[in-house]
Structure 1
Amino acid sequence: MSNELKVALLAIAALLLAFWGYKFILGNNILEKSNTFQVLYDDIAGLQEGTAVQINGVTVGSVTGITLLDNDDQQVLVELTLSADYKIPKQTDVVIVADGVMGGKKVYLEYERPCSGDDCAESGAFLNGEIRGVLASMIGTDDLGAYMEQLKDVMGALVDTLNQTLLDENSNSPIAKSLRNLEATTANLQSSTRQVDGLLRRSSGAIEGTMANINSLTSELNSQKEALASFIANADSLSGQLVEADLRKTMAEVNATIAGLQATLATADRALSGISMTMEKLSSGEGTLGKLLQDEQLYYDLRELSTSTDSLMEDIQERPYRYIPFKGRNRVKRYDRKDEALESAGGSN
């Protein structure tokens, strides 16, 4: 035998062994005689190929195929492969149950009694499918009702205990106090609601009259909306005209004030020009005042005149009789001689 033939035979054997191992892992031993069955489910709840099929906890086969059908209900076709040593009735239920709380699945075959002869399902037959939840899977359908009754009794006792401990009228727990406060608040709200309802009932006539008046006023305003629009437009136009007229009046007053100010400034300018000319004339010695300011001799003459005037006034005050007219000249001379005598006497002393 050549080496090439040995290699070919070895490769074929390896492929056959790998195929057998794959089928064996999936629970289908091709070296043993087996029967296949089909089951339709609306939902397989995560069932996978290779899942063990058991009867009373004994593995008798496995799930060897899962196919999603292209029908209206989109059902799932599951194929089971069982050892030919195990016969199952035609009314066998193929139940998918939860294998613990982690989400694993198992398949149980359930039937009332074993079969024999024609009562046994033939290979390729369809069986009934069923799915059970976690609680039903752990407890079982027979004990589920009793368990629920026990659970109901336990929960009832727990609720009664909680009610007595937390919700009793004499309890001092925060929950009981909160509930009592809530009850009082609800009672107050109900009383307030009744009062508001009574107030609304008593005031319904006035409210209806008010609403009718409002509706009437609204209708009247709606019917007069064109007149109101015209009135508003006229008021707006009048306001604009008043503002414009007031602005024109103000501008006229401002212009008049500016004109008066300009006239005043012109008059002041002329006055300042006259004063400037007068000062120039005074500085050049023109006119009487200019000459007084420029002629020093005239100043001394005026000063001497002032001194003489002062002497005259003093003499008038001391000898007024000299300046009062008398009828006789001799009397004047007599006063003169008297004054001379007084002056002589004063000089000798």
Structure 2
Amino acid sequence: MKPLEERSPYAVGLVALAGLAALAVVVVLLSVLSFGTTTYSAVLSQTAGLREGESVQVAGVVVGEVRAVELRDTDVEVRFTVADDIRLGELTTAEVKVATLLGTHYLQVTPRGSGSLADDTIALERTSVPFNLEDVLEQGTDTLGELDAPGLARALESVTGTLRRAGDDVAPALESVGRLADLVAERSEQTGDLLGSVERVSTMLHEDSEDVLALMQQTTLVLDEVTSRREAIRRLLERTTALSRSLAGLVEDTRDDLRPALRDLNTALTALREEDETLQSLLSTLAPAVRYVANAAGNGPWLDLYARPPVLPSDDQRCALGDCG
């Protein structure tokens, strides 16, 4: 194999360009294709602010994202992806929902019906948006038609006359409003930064909604456990109160019987105390005698005894009596 420096630089350049082109094609394919997902379409009467890259949810769980929003003849086609393990039936519906107050949206898909979605497209009659400009105009026209035009004219004339008479007061108010508008214009960048921060916070909360929901569920379990323990403590207090009332009633019912028994018990205790004092005195007196007996029997299993000769005869006297042996 030839070293790289011996090869033609033009050939090396062409191979490098071809490799870069192949890499670019792979990157584009990876960004367009979705692995593990299926691409569907939904026909909307208008976008209602839905943008590419916003999420697709089923039962509140994010299962895909909006890939493209394209304008057709009289309506809008939205292409979106959904995880392969979710089956969309032939009656599946789609609705554009507002995610936050700052204008973010998501496409809510509700699987319905049996079979599969025809042409992988949700028809216009099974889609909806948060508002429809045509419906608003029609309802507004009907409402305006019901207004009392002469009465409205008289009201406007009254307002005009009031403003004319209060011109001196209205002018300072309008000047204050103008200064307020100037102040808002001067602080527009700060207001924009504030709104951007609020949007980021809202997005973060939306992304962490599952964790917040799990935390709320854990909190609910803790509250349920505390409630059950509180109920157990309440039952214990009720039973303790009932027991104390029963004991109080028992004492009240047996008071007449207990009083003589306690009096007799007191008498018995007094007699026992007197006998105890007698026994203590007897033990105190008996102790020296027992000590002397113990001293006398301390040489062996006999007692030392001393008596004068008339009491116990001597050996000579016993021999005289014939008891020498």
TM-score (norm 2): 0.32
Query: Which one has a bigger Cα radius of gyration?
Result: 1
* Larger relative contact order, structure 1 or 2 (CA cutoff 8 Å, min sep 6): 2
